[in-house]
Structure 1
Amino acid sequence: MHVLITGANGIVGRFITRRMLDLGHGVTVLGRQPMEGWTTRFCQFDLSEVSEELPEADVLVHCAFQHEPGKYRGGEGDDPHGFIQANVEGTQRLFEAAKQAGVRHCVFLSSRAVYTDTGNWVVLSESSATQPETLYGQVKLAGEEALRTMCDEQFVGSVLRATGVYGCPPGLREHKWSDLFIRFENGEDIAPRLGTEVHGEDLGDAVLKVLNRDTSQGNSFEVFNVSDILLDRQDLLKSYARVRNITADLPARAPGPLGVMDAGKLKVLGWQPGGDARLQSFLETCQESEAGNQD
């Protein structure tokens, strides 16, 4: 299978790219620069300037998102027009080019930010209300709609509404909590936070599961939640302190409430995320990696 991947150099894209390569699939990275040291092909790509021609391929996985560095919500900075133009219009042009190139299945990485913030403890299913309050969520929802309108028997679309993604991206030393762990060990005040998380490898497996889903019943477009654990920052840092054998002040527990995503549709396809055990394994791996770097 030949797979086109946008955003392959990013945190999420690296997990997906690594999984595809490990399974023997051919991967072409659509991006601004090739991935050095990776056995991938390369095609110049920018969301702001999507070419009308893409390499022939079986699958497109669209992870790229143009935003201010380090930000998703609020990622428009002082240029909301450019933000919308790249991420909505650019995404639509990309889907059109992919269909023209013979792509049979497109996977779009969306976000839990598309859901309405009810301010209550609720279970969010794929049919829950989608009235995002951030421009980021609105842009992701527009991308979903752009894909939906193009899908047919020859061009299948799957949307993954992903929660926060943790884990050490393949080829990188740092991860989303690297700075948090450093500040914690340095005794800095840490703000309380409650969130939902999924490991990047589990997200990569989710991509494979939706690519293999049965579309013989005419379901050419489907949306899937991707979420695994509910995690309070106090619990995360308590586990990290135990693994590192350190003593530091923990943040207060976050008050909530928070909508919890139901990933039942994905689990019907055989998806089995790692849960708390995978989080613990990740923290222990962080400990071993840092110990190795000190030698």
Structure 2
Amino acid sequence: MKLAITGATGLVGRFVAEETLAAGDTVLSLGRNPPRPGFFSEPVAHMPFELGAPPPSLEGIDGLIHLAFQHLPGRYRGGEGTDPDGFRQANLDGTMRLFEAARRDGVKRILFLSSRAVYGDWPAGTRLHESLAPRPDTLYGEVKWRAEQALAGFYGADVATASLRATGVYGPAGPGQRHKWEELFHDFFAGTDIAPRAATEVHGADVASAVRLLLKASPEKLGGRAFNLSDLVLDRRDLLRELAQIAGMSLPLPQSADVTQVSQMDCARLRDLGWKPGGWPLLQRTLKEMFPGL
């Protein structure tokens, strides 16, 4: 397959692109700038693309994987800053233009990276499954939900579509980039007091394997549906304890967080397609990869 990927040079995009290359498919990176030499394990073609601009031609593309999202650096919820209209125009209007171009140019499969933020203000500790009504309480969640709806409307005999509602994604960053916990790890080793926190997480490689499953699944199994994508409920105390053990150091740990207040995502729909995330063992292996970069 020839796959076009927006946001291919981001944290999630690099994992998806590498999974695609390993499967023997061709990757076209859609983004502002071409990947730097050596960023991917194999050469990747590039086509200029910005969410706020008209989309490029997608003729000859078998599948579109839309991962790109315009936001303030390091912020998703609240990523609109002081420009909610610009945020909405780029991310919602731009996404809808991209979907329209893909359908117009004969792309047969479209996947969209959505977010658990579409669930919004369900009470803490709620088991989140795809049959729950979305209740986004941020502009980020609202835009993701409306983009999901637009894409679901494209599903039919000529195109297969699905959205992945991902939780927080972790994993080693690409060359020249920082991973999501780098500041946390620096603060920990510096002896800074760290607030308790627990959250749901999924490894970038597990996101990529989910994308691969949806690319190969029969169209009726996608059906324009959303698929929850999450693996671990991770307490910072447990994460940093593991990191200290890898480093061979004894350091003060934050207090345990109340994990009962974390709304976990039910991923049975994706697991029924054969998805098997790496769990704690994958996290342990990944920390050993992430630690040398500190």
- What is aligned with 1:229? 232
Report deviation, 1:53: 2.6
Distance (Å, rounded) in 2 between the aligned partners of 1:14 and 1:195:
23
SS at match of 1:124: coil
Residue from 111, 114, 119 that aligns with 1:110: 114
Report deviation, 1:192: 1.3
| 1:150 counterpart = 2:154 | yes
| 1:209 counterpart = 2:227 | no
Query: Percent identity over the alignment?
Result: 45
SS at match of 2:52: helix
The residue type equivalent to 2:209 in the other structure is: D
Mapping for residues 164-243 of structure 1, pairs under 5 Å: 164-172=168-176, 174-216=178-220, 220-243=223-246
| 1:253 counterpart = 2:256 | yes
Deviations 1:161-212 (A, max 9, x none): 0001011034356311111101100001111111000100010000001111
Residue from 73, 77, 85 that aligns with 1:73: 77
Report the TM-score, using the length of structure 1 for normalisation.
Answer: 0.94
Distance (Å, rounded) in 2 between the aligned partners of 1:101 and 1:22:
26
Mapping for residues 27-38 of structure 1, pairs under 5 Å: 27-37=27-37, 38=40
SS at match of 1:47: coil
Report the TM-score, using the length of structure 2 for normalisation.
Answer: 0.94
Distance (Å, rounded) in 1 between the aligned partners of 2:220 and 2:121:
35
Report deviation, 1:122: 2.0
Deviations 1:214-263 (A, max 9, x none): 2257x531211110010011111111111111122211122351210011
Task: Please tell me the root mean square deviation across aligned C-alpha atoms, in Å.
Answer: 1.5
Deviations 1:255-274 (A, max 9, x none): 35121001111111111100
Distance (Å, rounded) in 2 between the aligned partners of 1:260 and 1:125:
9
The residue type equivalent to 1:24 in the other structure is: G
- What is aligned with 2:16? 16
Contiguous gaps of at least 5 residues in structure 1 = none
Mapping for residues 273-292 of structure 1, pairs under 5 Å: 273-287=277-291, 289-290=292-293
| 1:7 counterpart = 2:10 | no
SS at match of 1:96: helix
Could you tell which deviates more after superposition, 233-242 or 248-257? 248-257
The residue type equivalent to 1:184 in the other structure is: F
Distance (Å, rounded) in 1 between the aligned partners of 2:25 and 2:167:
26
SS at match of 2:153: helix
The residue type equivalent to 1:28 in the other structure is: L
Distance (Å, rounded) in 2 between the aligned partners of 1:196 and 1:102:
36
The residue type equivalent to 1:209 in the other structure is: L
The residue type equivalent to 2:240 in the other structure is: L
Deviations 1:27-51 (A, max 9, x none): 1111101112241111110000033
Distance (Å, rounded) in 1 between the aligned partners of 2:62 and 2:116:
27
In 2, are the aligned partners of 1:163 and 1:196 still within 8 Å (CA)?
A: yes
Distance (Å, rounded) in 2 between the aligned partners of 1:85 and 1:24:
35
Distance (Å, rounded) in 2 between the aligned partners of 1:52 and 1:202:
29
The residue type equivalent to 1:153 in the other structure is: A
SS at match of 2:136: coil
